[in-house]
Amino acid sequence: MKITFPHMGNLSLTAETLLKGIGLEVIVPPACSKKTLSLGVQHSPEFACLPLKINLGNYLEAYELGADTALMVGGIGPCRIGYYGAIQQEILRDLGIQMELIVLEPPDAHPRELWDKIRRLKKVSWKRVLEAIYLAWHKTRVMDLLEEKALILRAREANKGSIDQLLGEARLQLERTAKIAQIKWLGQDYLSQIESIKLDEERQTVKILLVGEIYTVLEPFVNLNLEKQLNSLGVEVLRPLFLSSWINEHLLGGILNIEGTKKARELAKPFLNSFVGGHGRETVGCSVQYAKRGIDGIIQIAPLTCMPEIVAHSVLPKVTEKYDVPTLTLYVDEQTGEAGLLTRLEAFADLVRYRQRRLKKNENHVFGY
Amino acid sequence: MKTMFLGIDVGSVSTNLVLLDREGNLVAKTYLRTKGRPIATIQEGLAQLAEKWQDTVKIEGVGTTGSARHLAAVLVGADIVKNEITAHAIAASELVHGVQTVLEIGGQDSKLIIIRDGVVTDFAMNTVCAAGTGSFLDQQAGRLGLPIEEFGNLALRAKNPVRIAGRCTVFAESDMIHKQQMGHRLEDIIAGLCQALVRNFLSNLGKGKEILAPIVFQGGVAANAGIREAFRVALQSEIIVPDQYDVMGAVGMAILAREEWLKGNTTSFKGFDCAGYHFRQSGFECQDCPNGCEVIQIEQDQAVIARWGDRCGKWSGLKAVGTGA
């Protein structure tokens, strides 16, 4: 069996480590590209959202490299991702492609099922499974912590590209190692390297919270490098959604004490009181949580036609009104043009900056008298 | 020599250049059709201004906006480059005191900008659909054999505007043809179309936004009396169309260029002579990864002055290559 999985940001680091760890032969699909997109779009129903199309492109590209089995997440609730696995399997079958899709249901809904499926893939000892999880977890966490720091500092880096280079190196090193101690050391080493990068101290930055549907938030190909674009406009990006926090909350039952979105779900009340699928409630809750801490703006991103985020979108104006934080909602699909996106980001960054300047001016007035 | 500031707005349909004096008064403007040839059009606009002003005016600041803002900036040597939304908002709040809402409909996009106390607090721009923008009106006027200038006035003569499906440009057209074939009067159909476009604008962009007076309507489509009237009825409010409605983006950029000058920055304007420079644009598809980015490069007298279009930054980072400087 040669197993593959769809891309989503740094997920490939996690998945490759985990699957290789339990002794499987893994085929990592080529990074998402225009080719992936065209392959996916060509064979998908038009009104499905973007994740289905790009996932499919990933499988097809991995198939060309010899993969015969693919992992996909399942899900319950209003988000359509829950039945995408089944649709993708049908599409592959119609195309005459011999590839089995294994759908992993979230363990918080069906405890044990995930673990049973992993064990069914390969008859290995529990110990080995746990070790693989442990290793994959540490790599993911380190990568996320580095990225979290980069999202802030890249807004002021003096030499464009220096942080990205470090991130790329770190990622390669993490892929190569299988020792927990070295992973931890790499994490500290690269974190301090990123922190000591030369910054443009003069540059005035603003803080923007990035929320929305997890796939579009995490996969830079899909969001047209949204975070980097924002950083280069002098925007520090705060992002509550990380793969590691998601894993902690949904796969590990939240046993680790790292900040996730649990609190945010409570804070979504009274704006949004029920689970609307996907990360709709987290979008609203995180907006409230971060607005209270003090941010200059909120950007919400989702695939076009994403129902949970449409619900959140319609609730966000109330949050804006109460906490006086401007929001911008972006929907992306295969038609999204980079120029249009950039125009909106620039305009939003201007808006946030002018507001910030005015607020500061008002403060000066108060204290000046 | 009088000190002046140049604002350039290169959009999908029109290319506008304006000159503002030190006090911020509009001294000159040109409005040209881009016709898909931005470089030639920018040069033509500059040449027109140069003919009249070259000997008496010193340009101390240049700002560019519009979809070809980066191209224009490279060609003429701009001091500030901004997106259309900011440019339009700046111009509106400078020209119309206390403006709270800006409606802007251009060639291929439409915007709704909310301003409070002189600062943009919210905006929306058409996303997946360009129904109701200038290009569509142009096309319909052409189909009906009417000059675009008379199109809107005709709508004002309507007695019973018919309901047109305005959600989608193609369906709007089929619906209009259908209504014509049913025997409805032309002015009623055109008035119906104006209402449909305004309905579409407000439901697409206006959702959840508080549209308060004073309301400014600008962009090329503001010339259309039928659309103006439809907005007035739909919003139950007076609609202000500034004299410079068709060049507001350029005006906004000239204002910003003037601000840069007031801050003490010196201009990088290449001079009116760049109207005569030989610019060449070429493109190639980068084969280094599966993204296959289409990289554009701009040459001035055989030296590459800018490159863009790549995702990874490897080409756009090579800006200075070959300038021979």
- Give the Cα separation of B99 and A284 in Å (integer): 31
Residue A208 DSSP SS3 = strand
Helices (H) and strands (E) in chain A, counts: 15, 8
Closest CA to B226 of B161, B140, B152, B148: B152
DSSP helix, strand, coil percent of chain B (3-state; round to 5): 40, 25, 35
B203: in domain: yes
Number of alpha carbons in the 13 Å side-chain half-sphere of residue B81: 20
Q: Which class is A2-124 in CATH?
A: alpha beta
* Residue B121 in contact with partner chain A when CB distance is under 8 A: yes
pLDDT per residue as tens digits for the range B53-107: 888 889 999 999 998 898 899 889 999 999 999 999 999 988 888 899 999 998 7
B323: in domain: no
The dihedrals phi and psi of B111, each to the nearest 5 degrees, come to -135, 150
Burial category of A363 from C-beta neighbours within 10 Å (exposed 0-12, middle 13-18, buried 19 and up): exposed
Q: Which of B120, B127, B292 has the CB atom closest to A354's CB atom?
A: B120
Interface of B with A in 164-203 (CB under 8 A): none
- One domain for residues B101 and B237: yes
Confirm if B75 and B26 have CB atoms less than 8 A apart. Answer: no
Say whether A347 and B122 touch across the interface (CB within 8 A). no
B73: in domain: yes
- One domain for residues B223 and B293: no
- One domain for residues B111 and B187: yes
Dump the DSSP string for A50-100: HHHHHHHHHHHHHHHTT--EEEEE---SSSTHHHHHHHHHHHHHHTT---E
pLDDT per residue as tens digits for the range A12-44: 999 999 999 989 999 999 999 989 999 999 999
* Residue A310 in contact with partner chain B when CB distance is under 8 A: no
Predicted confidence at residue B324, as pLDDT, reads: 32
Predicted confidence at residue A258, as pLDDT, reads: 78
- What end-to-end distance do the CA atoms of chain B give, in Å? 30
pLDDT per residue as tens digits for the range B171-229: 788 888 888 888 998 889 889 888 888 988 888 888 778 899 899 999 989 989 999 99
- One domain for residues B23 and B138: no
**Rounded mean pLDDT of chain B?**
86
Between the CA of residue B190 and those of B137, B218, B220, B224, what are the distances in Å? 10, 20, 18, 11
Closest CA to B244 of B220, B270, B208, B280: B220
Helix axes B186-205, B225-235, angle to 10 degrees: 50
A–B CB contacts, 8 A cutoff, strictly below: 69
Confirm if B267 and B62 have CB atoms less than 8 A apart. Answer: yes
- One domain for residues B160 and B79: no
Contacts of A308 (CB under 8 A, 6+ apart): A78, A79, A213, A276, A277, A278, A279, A280, A281, A283, A302
Predicted confidence at residue B142, as pLDDT, reads: 85
- One domain for residues B83 and B110: no
Dump the DSSP string for A158-200: SSTTHHHHHHHHHHHHHHH---HHHHHHHHHHHHHHHHTS-B-
Q: Domain containing B12: what range?
A: 2-88+249-275
How is residue B143 written in tokens? 């189909």
Rg (CA), chain B: 21
Predicted confidence at residue A362, as pLDDT, reads: 63
- One domain for residues B174 and B76: no
Confirm if A142 and A187 have CB atoms less than 8 A apart. Answer: yes
B230: in domain: yes
Which residues on B lie below 8 Å from A340 (Cβ)?
Answer: 125, 127
Closest CA to B281 of B304, B294, B299: B299
- One domain for residues B102 and B233: yes
Say whether A344 and B125 touch across the interface (CB within 8 A). yes
Number of alpha carbons in the 13 Å side-chain half-sphere of residue A367: 5
- Give the Cα separation of B316 and B313 in Å (integer): 5
* Residue A339 in contact with partner chain B when CB distance is under 8 A: yes
Burial category of A42 from C-beta neighbours within 10 Å (exposed 0-12, middle 13-18, buried 19 and up): exposed
Which residues on B lie below 8 Å from A344 (Cβ)?
Answer: 83, 85, 125
- One domain for residues B62 and B142: no
pLDDT per residue as tens digits for the range B105-164: 987 788 999 998 878 888 888 765 666 678 888 888 888 888 888 888 888 998 898 888
Q: Which of B117, B122, B290 has the CB atom closest to A326's CB atom?
A: B122
User: Which residue on chain B is closest to A164 by alpha carbon?
Assistant: B312
Say whether A347 and B121 touch across the interface (CB within 8 A). no
Which residues on A lie below 8 Å from B290 (Cβ)?
Answer: 30-31, 33-36
Confirm if A264 and A291 have CB atoms less than 8 A apart. Answer: no
Interface of B with A in 15-74 (CB under 8 A): 67
- One domain for residues B38 and B163: no
B145: in domain: yes
- One domain for residues B10 and B49: yes
Number of structural domains, chain B?
Answer: 3
Residue A147 DSSP SS3 = helix
Predicted confidence at residue B18, as pLDDT, reads: 95
Domain with residue B161: its CATH number is: 3.30.420.40
Name the amino acid, one letter, at B237.
S
| B61, β-bridge pairs | B5
Confirm if A283 and A327 have CB atoms less than 8 A apart. Answer: no
B268: in domain: yes
Predicted confidence at residue B127, as pLDDT, reads: 65
B310 CB neighbour count, 10 Å cutoff:
19
pLDDT confidence bin for B317, thresholds 50/70/90: low
Confirm if A4 and A58 have CB atoms less than 8 A apart. Answer: yes
Residues of chain A predicted below pLDDT 50: 364-369
* Residue A162 in contact with partner chain B when CB distance is under 8 A: no
| B31, β-bridge pairs | B16
Query: What is the b/e burial string over A124-146, where b = at least 16 CB atoms within 10 angstroms of the residue's CB?
Result: beeeebebbbebbbbbbbbbbbb
pLDDT per residue as tens digits for the range B16-39: 999 999 988 999 999 998 888 888
- One domain for residues B253 and B230: no
Predicted confidence at residue B320, as pLDDT, reads: 43
Domain residue ranges in chain A: 2-124, 126-201, 205-368
* Residue A340 in contact with partner chain B when CB distance is under 8 A: yes
Query: What is the b/e burial string over B43-77, where b = at least 16 CB atoms within 10 angstroms of the residue's CB?
Result: bbbbebbbeebeeebebbbbbbbbbbbbbbbbbbb
| B3, β-bridge pairs | B58
CATH: 3.10.20.740, 3.40.50.11900, 3.20.20.70, 3.10.310.30. Which one for A205-368?
A: 3.40.50.11900
